Structure 1
Amino acid sequence: MRIRSQSEVASLAEARALLGLNGPVAEPGLTAAFRAAVKAAHPSAPGGDADRFRKVIAAWRLIQSPDSRPLALAAPGVRAPSPPVVVIGPLDALNGGQVAVRFAGRTLNIRLPKGMRSGEHLRLRGAGGDGADVYLPVLIRGADGLKVLGDDLFMDAPVATRLLQDGGRLEINTHAGARSAWIVAGQTPLRLRLKGLGLPARGGRPQGHLFVTLQPSDDVPSAAEDLLVRFTRVWTPDRLAA
């Protein structure tokens, strides 16, 4: 595997952001941050990525260089300002848009592209005190009934216990609208995969999927009851009279 050179990591600020550092740290913290970052970025890890893995190693080499190391380590009583983490929700990662970020005493509206993943960075050109680029790490936090792991989305859906026992057609309300699935009687494990409903493809990352965990519930209408409800919703008394 080719390891990227230090020149491929633009700045010390980017290197620290890649390792998840909040400014200078003591030697043990620096090593621990690198180990955690390289483990999370490894291609074999959930949500890992070969390109990010190479960048983490390049960042570590840059921080370890003689010119950068004094700036990376903490000095007594000194704490350098660190770029804020941009926290977004799964729907923000799906659809992109604008995100407000408080940085250097200002509130900035930053364009968020579709398909951002946790661990990626938003680049602010020339926003550093010395005119250098600033890289803001992105974290996707679960919201709106959705969670994100790597490229994929995860959600729970209540299902009538009788339907899980007998099998039949199930309609699931997802972020992309209603989707139908067929339940096999006594199906285990209680998880379905809806292809192509995860995070959109971006760069070298593939289109993700939506995984739905079925939660047995006695409060959910059975398939027959649900069909009756939908029938009466369409065929109102006015329509029947006509």
Structure 2
Amino acid sequence: MQFKDYYQILGIEPGAGEGEIKTAYRRLARKYHPDVSKEAGAEERFKAVNEAYEALRDPEKRAAYDQLRSRGYRPGDEVHPPQGGFQGQADGFDFEEIFAGGGAGGGFSDFFEELFGRRRGGAGPSAPGRGPQPRGDTRAKLSVPLDAVYHGSSVRIGINGKSLDVRIPKGIRPGQVIRLAGQGGSGRADGHPGARGDLLLEIEYAAHPQFEVDGRNIIHMLPVAPWEAALGATVSVPTLGGPVELKIPADSEAGRKLRLRGRGLPGSASAAAGDQIVELEVLAPKANSESERQAYRTLQQAFGDDWRRA
């Protein structure tokens, strides 16, 4: 498998902080999103950006990746995992994580799956004369798309050489566990296989190119043009339940937050559904023609050089 430089993919330095990583991801995900971009190869670039962010946003994954990167690998170099995968103690990695298919950007590369996606577990052989070991319950983390959490749909995972469809309860929270009976490791007695245990999947949310999660609230950064912020506008905004129309009040500034009630993650018997918080990001469109550049000159003349002190 070939090494991938996730820092290079996001266009950031290896010492970049969490905020820099998040900003780079948002910018590139918006640029290459298949629903928006018309650039050649945009879908593959989008998948690469999504994978890089998934690797670097989590401190443990990032530390493991940095350890491998420190060996001097360059993009495209062949990486040969040690026997038993990268999770061996010699490498210091200790991941038990499964990534569901069907998330934003599709599946991850072989490099990512080898580094983070393999699962360890299962009971070892019993010691002589000690009788059966407990059944081989196996624990792993399951990274699921927000869309599956919102709709309560199923995701497909690969485990023990086979595919399983896992139903994701609507509104499930990070840290909650899904139990798959009989899908764990095997207990052993006197060297013979015992009853197969259960697979316990601890839920975490996969990165999404358009949304972040704050409790049950969903946060979305909405790019708006200067005239939309100044004059007000009605624009289409993506939500997990589909696009909705949002009215932007006149004289809005960058950073203003607007609330779409009930458009966050589903609630439960003891908690109401969350909201979607839309934060405005005022962006100046790139002038690609003489007429568009002239429009900016007209704005310059209208507002003058003192507009910052207005």
| Shift of residue 187, structure 1, vs aligned partner | 4.4
Flag the 1:215–1:189 CA change in 2: closer, same or farther, 3 A.
closer
Q: Does 1:216 align with 2:285?
A: no
Q: Which residue of 1 aligns with 2:257?
A: 191
Looking at structure 1, the residues matched to 229 and 141 of structure 2 have their Cα atoms a distance apart, in angstroms, of 42
The one-letter code sitting in structure 1 at the alignment partner of 2:284 is: D
Q: Structure 1 residues 109 and 186, CA, compared in 2 at 3 Å: closer, same or farther? A: closer
Give, in whole Å, the separation in 1 of the partners of 2:147 and 2:165: 17
Root mean square deviation of aligned Cα: 3.4
Q: CA offsets, 1:18-56, max 9 Å, x none?
A: xxxxx9x9xxxxxxxxxxxxxxxxxxxxxxxxxxxxxxx
Deviation of the 1:194 alpha carbon: 0.8
Contact 2:154 2:167 in 1 (8 A): yes
1:114 — aligned with what? Answer: 170
1-side partners of 2:223 and 2:253: how far apart?
A: 15
Matched, 1:174 2:235: no
Pairwise CA distance, 1:212: 1.2
Aligned letter for 1:170?
A: T
> Partner residue of 1:148?
213
Once residues 269 and 139 of structure 2 are traced to their aligned partners in structure 1, the CA distance between those partners, rounded to angstroms, is 24
Mean Cα displacement is larger for which, 181-190 or 105-114? 181-190
What amino acid sits opposite 2:235 in the alignment? E
Please, which runs of 5 or more residues in structure 1 have no aligned partner?
1-22, 26-79, 221-242
Question: What is the percentage of aligned positions where both structures have the same residue?
Answer: 23
Rate the CA distance shift 1:182–1:205 in 2: closer, same or farther, 3 A.
same
1:126 and 1:81 map into 2 onto residues whose CA distance is 9
Unaligned runs of 5+ in 2: 1-86, 90-135, 187-194, 287-310
Cα offset, 1:189, TM superposition = 4.0
Deviations 1:192-226 (A, max 9, x none): 11110001113434201111111102229xxxxxx
The residue that corresponds to 1:103 in the other structure is 159
Encode CA deviations 1:151-173: one digit per residue, 9 max, x unaligned.
1111111111123234x233232
Tell whether the 8 Å contact from 1:199 to 1:207 is kept in structure 2 after alignment.
yes
Please tell me whether the aligned partners of residues 142 and 148 of structure 1 are also in contact (alpha carbons under 8 angstroms).
no
Larger relative contact order (Cα-Cα within 8 Å, sequence gap ≥ 6): 1
Relative to the length of structure 1, the TM-score reads 0.51
Once the two structures are TM-superposed, the CA of residue 135 in structure 1 deviates from its matched residue by: 1.7
Alpha-carbon distance, 1:81 to partner: 8.7
TM-score (norm 2): 0.41
- C-alpha separation in 2, matches of 1:149 and 1:123: 26
Q: Is the 8 A contact 1:153 1:208 kept in 2?
A: yes
**Pair 1:91-2:177 in alignment:** no
Count of aligned positions: 146
2:198 alignment counterpart: 133
1:217–1:188 Cα change, 3 Å: closer
Residues 255 and 281, structure 2, Cα contact 8 Å, conserved in 1: no
- Return the letter of the residue paired with 1:213: E
